[in-house]
Amino acid sequence: MSAPSKEAPKVTHGDPLFELAEKIYVQLAARVYGNLAGGDVKKPDPKALAAYSYKLAEAFEQASRETTRAMAHIEAANKAKVRLDEVDLSGVFGETKK
């Protein structure tokens, strides 16, 4: 029997944050490791570049939730919700005649 793995669970496709971070990573890697980057420049570790890509993706996701358009969408969705704790149902559940 093998020991349990101490690695973090692998994130797969379908996670929007993963997909955005992947796109950012591919673009950054192309610029950093590409032919135009220059041979004498020290290049970062690929894992560090991946971690940076995730930080950029998280920052983008957070900022996109703070736009006026997103706030208006959230406000409209909240107004459209029916909140049962605010509805007076006393007339519906009144006493029944025998």
10 or 46: which carries more pLDDT confidence? 46
pLDDT at site 86:
73
The residue among 31, 81, 91, 21 whose CA lies nearest residue 51 is: 21
pLDDT digits (tens, 9 = 90+) for 23-77: 999 999 998 888 765 667 788 899 999 999 999 999 999 998 889 998 899 889 8
pLDDT at residue 1 tops 50: no
pLDDT at residue 4 tops 80: no
The residue among 91, 27, 77 whose CA lies nearest residue 57 is: 27
Q: Can you tell me the distance from the alpha carbon of 66 to that of 63, in angstroms, rounded to the nearest whole number?
A: 5
Q: Can you tell me the distance from the alpha carbon of 54 to that of 20, in angstroms, rounded to the nearest whole number?
A: 8
pLDDT at site 82:
75
Q: What's the predicted TM-score (pTM) here? A: 0.60
60 or 91: which carries more pLDDT confidence? 60
